[in-house]
Amino acid sequence: MSDILKYFKPKELKKSLIISLWFMILTFPIMVIKVNTIENTVLWRWGSLIGMGIGSFIAATLWRYLLERKNMQNPLSSKKSLQIRIIEWANANPKIKPAALIAVSLFVLAFPFLAGMYQTSIMTTALMYIVLGLGLNIVVGLGGLLNLGYAAFYAVGAYTYALLNYHFGLSFWVCLPIGAGLATIMGILLAIPVLRLRGDYLAIVTLGFGEVIRIVLENWNGLSFGPSGIANIPRPGFFGMDMKLQTATIYIYFIMIAMVVFTIFVVRRLENSRMGRAWIAMREDEIASESMGIDITKSKITTFALGAFFAGMVGVIFAAKTTFINPASFTLWESLMILCVVVIGGTGSIVGVIVGAFILILLPEYLRAFSQYRMLLFGALLVIMMVFRPGGIVSNIRKKYKFEPIQASTNVSQKGAE
């Protein structure tokens, strides 16, 4: 911390002062002048100019200090990151893993009974974003295909349940596989035409696809009841039992927990499967992997389909949880939010996605204390997090095979056979 003092030398102070002056000029028209077009008066808010000056002076000093500290870090330095130290510590103490697992499960099981209904509801939302994030992670993190229309699959799931229930009275448990299945089909339908596209062209087509689905839902009144949405969607039932709101909230929470466990299990198994390794190879280099015998067409379609599957599943739960859906829940912002979960947490890493979902969903909730400023702070935090930790909070550490020279012969042959 001693080197922060450097920034109080006159030369550095002058630099910060210039930056703050620049910000005062920059924000002048929008922060200071406020025009009242009805009464034709101009309000000059000089106070905010002074506030801006002082604020940006402090921020500039801090920003430059932190940025320099980040750049000073030598990437080749032997200092291990916190994450690696935790992993090594856990590996060194084999008892820690089951203990941690038990602690987490106890906490998860007790949570809805300890916390209130409101907290449980928020936690359920966070759990939904974990599944959505893990699903998108298959497409973006493992497959390396940027999908900006992910909310469309989510919408397909939600509308499947809402409409099937409205017209045919089908129950939640019947609709759950149907919603997930329909979303999967949509994923395949989207994947087929975009097979040839690369990088950002793919991103924009998926974005367009997402928007098309939303606009169709908004305007096709005969199908989706338009912008007014569908209300009174029943919550999931439990063998025909009628539940009070509180019990139902807790019940959905546990459904979500089961879903998260299921998703983590599936994604973990997939990641290290033949298919998962093909995705990773495709992400690293399409042509090289193709020449190694990986079927790119199949890989692309399976990433899209599996990603969509989880979104459709969460969509059904979303409809059941909120009991009301309309197209406004499935905008581009929703897709971007899910993408943020993946990238902030750490692309490609399961733990990362979980951390990302908690940060992105719980943070705005607890920022409610700042009510109107929360989206402003949230935007700023996204920028700050990316600037200071561009790889996400938890980086994905690739599996490495370690050879131990002493028992080399047995080990190698075993590893080879796996």
The residues binding another protein (CB under 8 A) are 22-23, 25-27, 29-31, 33-35, 37, 40-42, 48, 63, 67, 70, 140, 146, 193-194, 196-198, 200-201, 203-205, 207-209, 211-212, 215-216, 219, 285, 287-288, 291, 332, 336, 339-340, 343-344, 347, 372-373, 375-376, 378-383, 386-387, 390-392
DSSP string for residues in 313-345: HHHHHHHHHHS-B-GGGGSHHHHHHHHHHHHHH
- The residue whose two tokens read 């983590």 is 264
Q: What are phi and psi of 325, to 5 degrees?
A: -135, 145
Q: What tokens were used for 344?
A: 């902030």
Q: Which is nearer to another protein, 301 or 332 (CB)?
A: 332
Contact partners, residue 94, CB within 8 Å, separation at least 6: none
Phi, psi at residue 143, to the nearest 5°?
A: -85, -20
Tokens at residue 106, please?
């106890």
Alpha-carbon gap, residue 344 to 258, rounded angstroms: 24
| Nearest residue (CB) to another protein, 146 versus 170 | 146
Tell me the three state secondary structure of residue 125: helix
**Residue 275 C-beta: closest distance to another protein, Å:** 22
Is residue 14 a contact partner of residue 61, using CB atoms and an 8 Å limit? Answer: no
**C-beta of 116 vs 227, nearer to another protein:** 227
Q: Residue 17 corresponds to which tokens in the numbers above?
A: 């002062």
Q: Residue 134 Cβ, how far from another protein at the closest point, in Å?
A: 17
Task: Give the Cα separation of 177 and 163 in Å (integer).
Answer: 15
With respect to another protein, which residue has the nearer C-beta, 291 or 410? 291
User: Comparing C-alpha atoms, which of 254, 18, 295, 308 is closest to residue 134?
Assistant: 308
In the complex with another protein, the residue whose CB is nearer, 174 or 386, is 386
Closer residue to another protein, CB minimum distance, 26 or 90 = 26
Least separation in angstroms between residue 32's CB and another protein is 9
User: What is d(CA 10, CA 289) in angstroms, rounded to the nearest whole number?
Assistant: 56
Phi and psi of 229, rounded to 5°? 75, -170
Choose between 173 and 333: whose C-beta lies nearer to another protein.
Answer: 333
- Smallest separation (angstroms) from another protein to the CB of 141: 9
Whose Cβ is closer to another protein: residue 261's or residue 397's? 397
Minimal distance, residue 113 CB to another protein, in Å: 36
Residue with Cβ nearer another protein (2 or 372): 372
Closest contact distance (angstroms) between CB of 25 and another protein is 7
Q: Name beta bridge partners: 338.
A: none
Work out how close the CB of 190 gets to another protein at its nearest, in angstroms, rounded to a whole number.
Answer: 10
199: left (phi over 0), alpha (psi -120 to 50) or beta: left
Packing angle between helix 274-284 and helix 245-271, nearest 10 degrees?
80
Q: Least distance (Å) from another protein to the CB of residue 196?
A: 5
Instruction: In angstroms, give the least distance from the CB of 417 to another protein.
Output: 30
